[in-house]
C-alpha cells in the first residue's frame, strides 16, 4: 500500500513537472509569476495545515485553527504597532498561538472535554476578542519585505518561485521540512505518532501521554502564530475583522488531503495555490472564462474525491479526539 | 478634622450628583431616546448592516454616517445593529420594526429580499435599501442605487491616462453582485475609451474573487492577486470589494511607481495604508444619498421605487502632483459628460 501511494505521488510529481516545463517553454515569465504567487497562496494554508497535523498526530482534534490564526494575526498587528517593531509583533503572536494551544490542551487533555467543543471555544473566543478590541486606522511601522536569498535567487525559475520572498516565508519552509523530518525520522516523532495512534502502548513504554500532547499542541500553536504573522506582517500589511477568511477550515481539508503528512499537506496547499493563481492568470489573459467559484470549491472537492477513492486506506490517527485515561486499553 | 473633610466631600458629591441629574434631565428633554420611538416625540432611524461591521471603512460605515447626518438634520435618533450571519437579516430588521422606528436603512445588495419582506410586515415604516435595486411595487421601499458603471468608467479613464506600462488591472469582489460587475465593466469601458482617445492599446484585466462567504472579506487573496498583477507589469490597480479590495490596494502601496484606485467611499482616510498609491476612489456618494433619503422620509417626500444617488471620483489628495494638470482637466471634462449622461458607458444595467 505504501509503495502504491509512493508510486501515485511520483506520477503526480511527474505530471506537474511536465506540465510546468511545457508552460515554461511557452511563456517563461508568466509561468514563473504564477508559481511564485501560488507559493504565497499556499504558504498560509500549508502552515495552518501543519497546526492541524501536529495536533492530530498526537491525538488532539483541533478545529480551532481559524481562531488561533485570527487572534495571533490580530496580536501581531497591534503589538507590532504598539512596540514599533514587527519582530516583537511576530514573537508575541507566536506566544499568543502557544497560549491558545495551551487552552485547548487544558480543555482536552486535563479536563478531558469534547475536543470539537474545545476547538469551537477557541474560534468563538478569537472572534469575540478581536471584534471587540478592533480599532481601525492604525498602520504598521514596517513589514517583512521581500529579501531574495543571495545566489539561490539567481536560479532560473526556482530562484523566483522559492527564493524571492520575505523572512517569514523562509521560516515557514524550514518549519514544514523540519516537521516532516521530525515526525518520521526522530524518536520524538515516533513517540508523537504512538501517542496519537495507541496512547496506552506509549504509556506502557514510558512515554507521558499528557506531557507529549501538551508539548506538541503548544508547538502547533507557535506554528499558528507564525502563520498569522505571515499573513499580516508579510503578505497583507493591514488587519480587519474576520481577517483570516476561513483559512483555518480550508487547512483542515488540506490536512486530510495531504494524509496527515507535512509534505503531503504542503503539496495539497501548493495544488490549491496553483489552482488560484492559475485561475487568476486565466482572467488576466482573458482567454478562457472559467467561473471563479470553481476554484473556491477545489480543496473541498479534492478532499471528498481523495477520501472516496482511498476510503479505508487513508485514515486519521486512531486515538484522535479521545481523551486518554490511564489504564484504558 | 476628619469629620470636616467628610462633610465637605459629601457636600461636593451631592452637588455633583445633583448636577448630573440636572444635566440628564435637560438632555432628555432635547434628544429623543429609543423609548420614544413609535410616538410623535421621536423620529427614529435604524440601520441594519450587512455582514461586517459598522466601521468597515466602506458601505456600512457610509450608510451609518448618512443616517447620523440625517438624524442630526431631522432632530431624530439613530441606532444600528450589526449583522453577523446572513440568516439574521429578518431578525435584525425586526429589532427596529417592532420598536416602531420610522425609517429602517438596510445595507447591501444581499439584504434586498429581506427588506422587501419586512416592508410588507411593517407597512408604516419607510425602508431605505442601500445598494439594493428595488424591482417590486412595495409602497414603502426605496432602493438607493448608483450607476456604478459611471464611477467605474471614470476610474478606468483616469487609469488609462496614468498608465505607463499600458497594463491596467482590477481586483474585485463577487461578480454575481450587480454593483461589482458594473464597477468592473464600467472600469474596462473607461480604459477602452481612454485607449481609443490616446490611440494606443491598453491591456485591461479585471479579476473577480472566487465567491463564497469571504468574497468581500479576504484581504490575503486580494494582496496576492495584486502581487500577481504587479509582477506582470500592471501599474494601475483598482480594488473594489470591501476588505478584499482593501488588501489589494494595500499591497499596491508597497510597490513603488504603481497607482491604486479605491472604491465606494473616499478611501484616503479610511485605508491609510494605501495612501502611497491611492490616486482616487470611484465613489458612490452614499453618505449624501442616505442623508437625503432620511430627510425625505421625514418630510414625507420620499418616493417608492428607486433613488439614484450621485457618483464621482474622490479627491486626488497628496497624489495630485502625480496627475498632470492636462489629465486632471481631461478627467473633469469626461466626468461632466458621464454624469450628465451625454456619454454612455455602454454597460448593461
pLDDT of A298-316, one tens digit each?
767 777 787 777 666 778 8
Output phi, psi for B143, to 5 deg. Answer: -85, 125
pLDDT digits (tens, 9 = 90+) for A130-141: 988 988 778 899
**Is B277 domain-assigned?**
yes
In this predicted complex, what is the ipTM?
0.88
In sign, the C-alpha dihedral spanning A295, A299, A300, A304 is positive
pLDDT digits (tens, 9 = 90+) for A139-185: 899 899 989 999 999 998 899 999 999 999 999 999 999 999 999 99
**Is A174 domain-assigned?**
yes
Q: How far is B330 from chain A (nearest CA, A)?
A: 28
Q: Which secondary-structure segment (H or E) carries B155?
A: helix B148-162
Per-residue confidence (pLDDT) for residue B28, from 0 to 100 = 39
**Domain-terminating residue out of B145, B160, B192:** B145
**Is B121 domain-assigned?**
yes
- Which residues does chain A have within 8 Å of residue B270's beta carbon, measured at their own beta carbons? 136-137
**Domain-terminating residue out of B127, B145, B163:** B145
Which domain does B322 fall in, by range?
A: 148-284+316-340
Same domain, B202 and B326: yes
DSSP β-bridge partners for residue A317: none
What does the alpha-carbon distance between residue A63 and residue A53 come to, in Å, rounded to a whole number?
Answer: 11
Same domain, B46 and B158: no
| Closest residue on chain A to B209 (Cα) | A292
Per-residue confidence (pLDDT) for residue B21, from 0 to 100 = 44
User: What CATH number corresponds to the domain at position B58?
Assistant: 3.40.50.2300
Check residue B34 and report its DSSP letter: G
- Contacts from A153-160 at CB under 8 Å and sequence distance 24+? A157/A24, A157/A28, A157/A31, A157/A32, A157/A35, A160/A32, A160/A33, A160/A35, A160/A36
Helix axes A65-83 and A28-57, enclosed angle (nearest 10): 110
Q: Is any Cβ of chain A less than 8 angstroms from the Cβ of B275?
A: no
A235 to B228: CB separation less than 8 angstroms, yes or no: no
Is residue B173 exposed (0-12), middle (13-18) or buried (19+ Cβ within 10 Å)?
buried
A276 to B221: CB separation less than 8 angstroms, yes or no: yes
Same domain, B229 and B205: yes
Same domain, B205 and B70: no
**Is B28 domain-assigned?**
no
- Which residues does chain A have within 8 Å of residue B223's beta carbon, measured at their own beta carbons? 235-237
What does the alpha-carbon distance between residue A323 and residue A140 come to, in Å, rounded to a whole number?
Answer: 42
Output phi, psi for A114, to 5 deg. Answer: -60, 125
**Is A224 domain-assigned?**
yes
Check: CB of residue B170 under 8 Å from CB of residue B238. yes
B224 to A231: CB separation less than 8 angstroms, yes or no: no
Same domain, B53 and B140: yes
**Chain B residues 276-305 within an 8 A CB cutoff of chain A:** none
Same domain, B170 and B129: no
Which domain does A200 fall in, by range?
A: 42-249
**Is B30 domain-assigned?**
no
What does the alpha-carbon distance between residue B160 and residue B176 come to, in Å, rounded to a whole number?
Answer: 26
**Is B29 domain-assigned?**
no
Q: Is the pLDDT of residue A282 over 50?
A: yes
In sign, the C-alpha dihedral spanning A225, A147, B209, A47 is negative
Q: How many domains does chain A have?
A: 1
**Is A290 domain-assigned?**
no
Check: CB of residue A212 under 8 Å from CB of residue B196. no
B151, B189, B133: which is closest to B267 by C-alpha?
B151
Same domain, B157 and B272: yes
pLDDT digits (tens, 9 = 90+) for A114-123: 999 999 999 9
Q: Is A121 helix (H, G, I), strand (E, B) or coil?
A: helix
Average the pLDDT over each of A38-52, A267-281, A300-314, B99-113 and give the range with the smallest value: A300-314
Digit-by-digit pLDDT tens for chain B (349 residues) are: 455 555 555 555 554 444 444 444 443 344 567 778 888 788 999 999 987 788 877 788 889 999 999 999 998 889 999 988 888 999 999 999 999 999 999 998 889 999 999 999 999 999 999 988 898 889 999 999 999 999 999 999 999 999 999 999 999 998 888 889 999 999 999 999 999 999 999 999 999 987 667 888 899 999 999 999 999 999 999 999 888 999 999 999 998 899 999 998 889 988 889 999 999 999 999 999 999 999 999 998 999 999 999 999 999 999 999 999 999 999 999 999 999 989 999 888 7
Is residue B298 exposed (0-12), middle (13-18) or buried (19+ Cβ within 10 Å)?
buried
Same domain, B177 and B272: yes
Q: Is any Cβ of chain A less than 8 angstroms from the Cβ of B16?
A: no
Same domain, B163 and B221: yes
**Is B304 domain-assigned?**
no
**Is A37 domain-assigned?**
no
Give the best residue of B224, B235, B250, B260 to mutate against chain A (max A CB count within 10 A): B224
| Closest residue on chain A to B168 (Cα) | A284
Q: How many domains does chain B have?
A: 2
Q: How far is A137 from chain B (nearest CA, A)?
A: 7
**Is B52 domain-assigned?**
yes
Chain centre to alpha carbon of residue A315:
19
For cell 419582506, the residue is B117
Same domain, B107 and B167: no
**Domain-terminating residue out of B145, B179, B205:** B145
**Is A291 domain-assigned?**
no
**Is B279 domain-assigned?**
yes
Amino acid at each position: 500500500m505504501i509503495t502504491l501511494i509512493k508510486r501515485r505521488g511520483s506520477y503526480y510529481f511527474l505530471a506537474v513537472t511536465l506540465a510546468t516545463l511545457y508552460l515554461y517553454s511557452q511563456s517563461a515569465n508568466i509561468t514563473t509569476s504564477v508559481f511564485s504567487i501560488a507559493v504565497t497562496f499556499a504558504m498560509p494554508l500549508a502552515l495552518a495545515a501543519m497546526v492541524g497535523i501536529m495536533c492530530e498526530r498526537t491525538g488532539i482534534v483541533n478545529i480551532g485553527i481559524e481562531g488561533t490564526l485570527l487572534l495571533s494575526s490580530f496580536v501581531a498587528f497591534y503589538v507590532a504597532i504598539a512596540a514599533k517593531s514587527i519582530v516583537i509583533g511576530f514573537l508575541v503572536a507566536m506566544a499568543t498561538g502557544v497560549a491558545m494551544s495551551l487552552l485547548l490542551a487544558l480543555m482536552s487533555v486535563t479536563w478531558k472535554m469534547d475536543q470539537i467543543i474545545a476547538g469551537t471555544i477557541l474560534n468563538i473566543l478569537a472572534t469575540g476578542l478581536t471584534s471587540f478590541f478592533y480599532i481601525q486606522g492604525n498602520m504598521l511601522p514596517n513589514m517583512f519585505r521581500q529579501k531574495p536569498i543571495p545566489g539561490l535567487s539567481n536560479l532560473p525559475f526556482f530562484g523566483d518561485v522559492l527564493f524571492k520572498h520575505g523572512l517569514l516565508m523562509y521560516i515557514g519552509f524550514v518549519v514544514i521540512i523540519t516537521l516532516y523530518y521530525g515526525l518520521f525520522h526522530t524518536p520524538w516523532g515516533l513517540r508523537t505518532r504512538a501517542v496519537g495512534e495507541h496512547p496506552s502502548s506509549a504509556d506502557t513504554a514510558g512515554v507521558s501521554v499528557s506531557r507529549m500532547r501538551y508539548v506538541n499542541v503548544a508547538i502547533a500553536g507557535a506554528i499558528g502564530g507564525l502563520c498569522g504573522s505571515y499573513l499580516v506582517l508579510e503578505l497583507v500589511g493591514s488587519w480587519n475583522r474576520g481577517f483570516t477568511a476561513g483559512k483555518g477550515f480550508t487547512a483542515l481539508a488540506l490536512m486530510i488531503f495531504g494524509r496527515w503528512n507535512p509534505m503531503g499537506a504542503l503539496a495539497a496547499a501548493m495544488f490549491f495555490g496553483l489552482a488560484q493563481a492559475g485561475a487568476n492568470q486565466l482572467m488576466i489573459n482573458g482567454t478562457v472564462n472559467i467561473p471563479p467559484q470553481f476554484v473556491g470549491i477545489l480543496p473541498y472537492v479534492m478532499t471528498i474525491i481523495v477520501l472516496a477513492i482511498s476510503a479505508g486506506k487513508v485514515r486519521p490517527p486512531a486515538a484522535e479526539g479521545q481523551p486518554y485515561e490511564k489504564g484504558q486499553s | 478634622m476628619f469629620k470636616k473633610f467628610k462633610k465637605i466631600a459629601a457636600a461636593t458629591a451631592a452637588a455633583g450628583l445633583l448636577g448630573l441629574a440636572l444635566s440628564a434631565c435637560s438632555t432628555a428633554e432635547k434628544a429623543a431616546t429609543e423609548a420614544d420611538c413609535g410616538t410623535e416625540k421621536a423620529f427614529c432611524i435604524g440601520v441594519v448592516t450587512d455582514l461586517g461591521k459598522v466601521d468597515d471603512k466602506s458601505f456600512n460605515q457610509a450608510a451609518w454616517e448618512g443616517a447620523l447626518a440625517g438624524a442630526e438634520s431631522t432632530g431624530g435618533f439613530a441606532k444600528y445593529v450589526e449583522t453577523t450571519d446572513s440568516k439574521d437579516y429578518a431578525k435584525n430588521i425586526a429589532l427596529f420594526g417592532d420598536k416602531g422606528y420610522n425609517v429602517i436603512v438596510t445595507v447591501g445588495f444581499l439584504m434586498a429580499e429581506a427588506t422587501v419582506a419586512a416592508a410588507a410586515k411593517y407597512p408604516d415604516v419607510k425602508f431605505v435599501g442601500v445598494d439594493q435595486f428595488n424591482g417590486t411595487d412595495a409602497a414603502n421601499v426605496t432602493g438607493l442605487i448608483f450607476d456604478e458603471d459611471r464611477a467605474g468608467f471614470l476610474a478606468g479613464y483616469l487609469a488609462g491616462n496614468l498608465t505607463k506600462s499600458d497594463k491596467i488591472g482590477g481586483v474585485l469582489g463577487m461578480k454575481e453582485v450587480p454593483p461589482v460587475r458594473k464597477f468592473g465593466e464600467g472600469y474596462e469601458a473607461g480604459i477602452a475609451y481612454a485607449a481609443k482617445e490616446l490611440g494606443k492599446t491598453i491591456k485591461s484585466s479585471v479579476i473577480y474573487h472566487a465567491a463564497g462567504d469571504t468574497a468581500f472579506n479576504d484581504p490575503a487573496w486580494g494582496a496576492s492577486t495584486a502581487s500577481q498583477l504587479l509582477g506582470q507589469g500592471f501599474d494601475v490597480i483598482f480594488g473594489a470589494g470591501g476588505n478584499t479590495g482593501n488588501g489589494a490596494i494595500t499591497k499596491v502601496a508597497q510597490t513603488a511607481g504603481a497607482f491604486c484606485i479605491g472604491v465606494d467611499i473616499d478611501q484616503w482616510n479610511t485605508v491609510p495604508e494605501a495612501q502611497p498609491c491611492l490616486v482616487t476612489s470611484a465613489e458612490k456618494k452614499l453618505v449624501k444619498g442616505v442623508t437625503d433619503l432620511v430627510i425625505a422620509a421625514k418630510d414625507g417626500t420620499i418616493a417608492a421605487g428607486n433613488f439614484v444617488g450621485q457618483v464621482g471620483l474622490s479627491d486626488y489628495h497628496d497624489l495630485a502632483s502625480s496627475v498632470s494638470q492636462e489629465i486632471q482637466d481631461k478627467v473633469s471634462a469626461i466626468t461632466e459628460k458621464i454624469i450628465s449622461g451625454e456619454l454612455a458607458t455602454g454597460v448593461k444595467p
